[in-house]
Structure 1
Amino acid sequence: MDFESVFADVARVIEGAGVVIMAVGLAAVLIRYAYDVVRKGAGNYGALRVNLGRVILLGLEILILGDIVRTIIVETSVESVLVLGLIVVIRTVLSFTLEVEISGSWPWQQRNNNSTDAA
C-alpha cells in the first residue's frame, strides 16, 4: 500500500463521514420535529429549517475537507485543482446562503450584534 492509496482511502472516509453526518442529522432533525408535533400538537417549522441548515452546513464543510485532501495529495494536476476550486466556490456559496437563511442576517452583521451585546 503506497502513500497515495492510503490518502485516497482517507479522503473517501472523510467524504463518507460528511454524508453520514448529513443523513443521521436529517433523521435526528425530522425525529425531533415529529416528536414536537406529537407532543405539542404542532411543530416549529422555523426550528426545523434552522437545524436542518446547520446539519447541511456541517456536512458541506466535511465534504470540502475530503475534496481538499484528495486533490492535494492524491490527484495533483492542474485540472483537479481547478475542479477543486470550482467545488469549493460552489459549496462556499451554498454555505453562505444557508447561513444567511438560518440566521436571517449577513454574517458580519451577526458578529457586530453579538459584540455590542457583550459590551
Structure 2
Amino acid sequence: MDWDALFANVARVIEGAGVIIMAIGLAVVLLRYLHDALRKGTENYRRLRVNLGRVILLGLEILIVGDIIRTIIVETSVQSVLVLGLIVVIRTVLSFALEVEISGSWPWQQRPAD
C-alpha cells in the first residue's frame, strides 16, 4: 500500500468519524430533549438548540481535518486547494454563526455570567 492510499483511507475514517459523531450526537441530544420535555422544564428548547449546535460544531471541526488531510496529502492540485479553501471558509462562517447562537454574544464581547 502506498502513502497516498493510506492517507486517503485515514481521511475517509476521519470524515466518517465526524459524520458518526453528528449522527450519534443528534440522537443523544433528541433523547435528552424528550426526557427533559417529559419533566416539563422551561428551558428545554433553548438547551436543545445549544446542545445540537455543539454537536454540529464538533462534527464540522472533525470534517475539516479530514478535508485538510485529503487535500494536502492525497489530492495536491491548485483546484483541490481552492476547493478546500472554500469549504473551510463556509464551515468557518457556519461555525462562527453557531457559536454566536450558542453563546448569545459575539466572540469579542464579554459573555454574560450564567
Q: TM-score range by the shorter chain?
A: over 0.9
Q: What TM-score comes out, normalization by structure 1 length?
A: 0.90
Give the match for residue 69 of structure 1.
Answer: 69
Query: Take 2:98 and 2:37, find their aligned partners in 1: how far apart are those partners?
Result: 25
Name stretches of at least 5 consecutive residues in structure 1 with no aligned partner: none
Give matches, 1:11-50, under 5 Å: 11-38=11-38, 40-42=39-41, 44-50=44-50
Q: Deviations over 1:52-83 (max 9, x none)?
A: 00000000000000000000000000000000
Give the match for residue 91 of structure 2.
Answer: 91
Name stretches of at least 5 consecutive residues in structure 2 with no aligned partner: none
Give the match for residue 7 of structure 1.
Answer: 7
**RMSD of aligned C-alpha atoms?**
1.5
Q: What TM-score comes out, normalization by structure 2 length?
A: 0.93
Identity of aligned residues (%): 77
Q: Which runs of 4+ in 1 moved over 4 A?
A: none
